[in-house]
Amino acid sequence: MTETIGTILEREGGTFRVSTDQGEFTAILRGKVKHRDGDRYVVGDRVRVDTEDPSGTLGIISAEPRRNLLERRSPDSRRARPVAANLDRVLVFTAAANPEPLPQLLDRLLVIAEANDIPAGVVVNKCDLASPEPIAIRFERIGYPVWRVSVKNGLGVEALLAEVKGHVTLFTGPSGSGKSSLLNQLQPGLALRTSATSAKVGRGRHTTVSAVMAPLAMGGYLVDTPGFSDVGLWGIDPRGLMQCFPEMRPLIDQCKFADCHHLIEPHCAVRGAVADGTIDAGRYESYRILLGEIRASPEQWE
């Protein structure tokens, strides 16, 4: 059997689009792989495929070890859903206006990247409609890199293009913020599905239905993900949540009590930093909300 290594670019049902050194091919899962973990293969996975099928359809027979994996869970789901693997960076996307930024959703997405040890940054689009500074400064104070862009007039697009060149970059964020439109501009001809923001609800319609990984002509890959308004956390221990907030990490060992949850305990260094303005009160509120969500989730998901 002749084998080669490829990268999954897209999945539709039980069919995968795989890129190899010989070009792009359609692939399906073979034998035990299909029955054992057929729903666990995602874009970005490096897979071993056989190439002997005369129809030209490759057979995926195994996956290479992952560097990392981004997972999500919807509030009504009882299991994690892998989104993409082997990422160099997650860029959390928002609009400066139309729709208005949702800081707590952005915090949630950044926490998911932090929990998976994936470097993250923030892209603020539609800077032609409103000043990006309020939301941009919020994250720059923490240490996240922030790109201010406008798909409409091209502001900042070249700088962002230089950043993603040669890397595997996943874009995620709320619908309607222009994420897919920017990806199309970064890679002309990409033709990702886009949709205008709904005037009735102030949100974008969900036009990307599954993650898609697109090779860049200049090198690297862009990964576009479905738009969503809520994402559940997965696999984050309550005591480890604070580690996912970079500005709070240095204070964890400064609390009086080693088991401090930073909620009501006396002599809490984290709450003290919130009180004196060192830590943004909105970020702390995101921590409280996410901690409550994690505590309320069952320990074992089926």
Task: Check: CB of residue 159 under 8 Å from CB of residue 147.
Answer: yes
The arithmetic mean of pLDDT across residues 212-220, rounded, is 88
**Rounded Cα gap, residues 144 and 92, in angstroms:** 10
Q: State pLDDT tens for residues 136-157.
A: 999 999 999 999 999 889 999 9
Helix (H, G, I), strand (E, B) or coil at 289: helix
Q: State pLDDT tens for residues 20-75.
A: 988 888 999 887 676 555 558 899 999 999 876 666 678 998 889 999 988 876 55
Q: State pLDDT tens for residues 153-200.
A: 999 999 999 999 999 999 888 878 888 788 878 777 665 544 333 333
Q: How high is the pLDDT of residue 35?
A: 54
- Residue 123's H or E segment, with its range, is strand 120-125
Q: How high is the pLDDT of residue 34?
A: 64
Q: How high is the pLDDT of residue 296?
A: 82
Task: Check: CB of residue 42 under 8 Å from CB of residue 82.
Answer: yes
Say how many C-beta atoms besides its own lie within 10 A of residue 55's C-beta: 6
Confidence label for 207 from pLDDT (cuts 50, 70 and 90): very low
Q: State pLDDT tens for residues 226-279.
A: 654 456 676 788 888 999 999 999 998 999 998 899 999 999 999 999 999 999
HSE of 156, CA atoms in CB hemisphere, 13 A: 16
Task: Check: CB of residue 226 under 8 Å from CB of residue 208.
Answer: yes
